[in-house]
Amino acid sequence: MRWPSQLGYYVRRVATVQSNTGEVRYLVLAECAAPYLLARVRWPDVAQAITAGCPDWLDDPGLFDLPYDPDAVTLSFPQAASVAAGWGRQLGDEPAVGAPAMMRRMPANWSDLSPAERDALGLEPLGRRRVSARRLRRLRASQAQTAPPVPVAAPRGGYAEVPNRYSRVATTMVDMGSDPPERRRRVRVRVDGRAHIRSAYATTVSAALVDLSEGGVRCVLPDAPEAFAPGVRFDGPFLLEAEVATSRICLAVPGWIRWSQGSRAGTHFGVAFGDLDDRQAEGVQRFLIAAGGRRGSR
């Protein structure tokens, strides 16, 4: 016997009620890792969303289905606040009161929104436009100008000599696990901005963004917590924002700290990403072109 889709919809909503912790959950949908919809959901009273084209909160009961969408990414409050700030909206602790309501088909199909739904949410059609070949060639030429420092392999649990900007050679603790120390297969581009990283105990740390590639990111913290040590794994997502543009990307991949280095400027640490899919890799390229292409490479 085939259950009607509406019945399955209500079964999932009952399950949500039973597991509800009373906290608002923040989620994003992204195209090429660039967020285009931010939602906050709490059964049974909060189901609101904003977009760049619709920065005022909109009540939408279809958002109760969003946590079950495979493309939806859960964010922490600081990460969600960064996305909202990029659209000119300050994210408050409490949901908006008296927001206009959206009437839609139920259950919602977030992977195939109707034209009317896109219009209500202020969404432009999501194309499959690739990065401009000309701009991509410029980025790669910029990356090729300077070869990246490559850590020297060290024994497990040992140390490696890593060239850096503060001294010719610095001694840095490397990953004590079975993985080798970080080796930059891709040249990273200098990007001034912030990286919002979810660390242990579900806290979010906002670090200064130093450089980025499809393979990883380097950040610096004035006072890095003990949890930010070589070998530590982050489950993601990584929310990265640039200062020179309104660009933001959300990479829903795991990451591992490969090295850390203390200096007068703070603690620098390098994070290697897990494998990015084609769309995420393209998103990083777009982000670098928009935010870091003019700064040259490191």
Q: pLDDT digit string (tens) for 145-204?
A: 443 443 433 333 333 333 333 233 233 333 333 333 444 567 789 999 999 998 766 789
* Mean pLDDT calculated for residue range 202-212: 91
Tell whether 91 and 165 lie within a shared domain: no
> Is 9 inside any structural domain?
yes
Residues 174 and 203 in one domain: yes
**Domains in the chain: how many in total?**
2
CA distance linking residue 147 with residue 137, whole number of Å: 17
3-state DSSP call for residue 38?
strand
Of 62, 89, 121, which residue sits at a domain end? 121
Tokens 């490559």 — which residue? 150
Residue 184, amino acid: R
Q: Residue 155's pLDDT is what?
A: 32
> Are 165 and 281 within one domain?
yes
Would you state the pLDDT for residue 105? 66
Top mean pLDDT of 7-21, 29-43, 81-95 is at 29-43
Mark which of 66, 92, 121 sits at the end of a domain: 121
Q: Give the predicted TM-score (pTM) of the model.
A: 0.75
**Amino acid at position 14, single letter:** V
Q: Tokens for 50?
A: 């904003």
Q: Across residues 122-142, what is the average pLDDT?
A: 59
* Residues 181 and 202 occupy one common structural domain: yes
Confidence of residue 250 (pLDDT cuts 50, 70, 90): very high
For residues 85 and 205, membership in a common domain is answered with: no
Residue at a domain's end among 121, 156, 171: 121
Long-range (24+ apart) CB contacts under 8 A made by 177-185 are: 177/231, 179/256, 180/153, 181/151, 181/153, 181/154, 181/258, 181/259, 182/151, 182/216, 182/258, 182/259, 182/270, 182/272, 183/150, 183/151, 184/148, 184/149, 184/150, 184/213, 184/215, 184/216, 185/215
Print the domain residue range for 175: 133-295
270 within domain boundaries: yes
Average of pLDDT values for 3-23?
Answer: 44
Q: Which residues contact 286 (CB under 8 A, 6 or more apart)?
A: 32, 34, 131, 247
Q: Is 213 exposed, middle or buried (0-12, 13-18, 19+ CB in 10 A)?
A: buried
Give the type of residue at 181. Answer: P
Q: What is the pLDDT of residue 254?
A: 95
* Side-chain-side CA neighbours of residue 153 (13 Å): 5
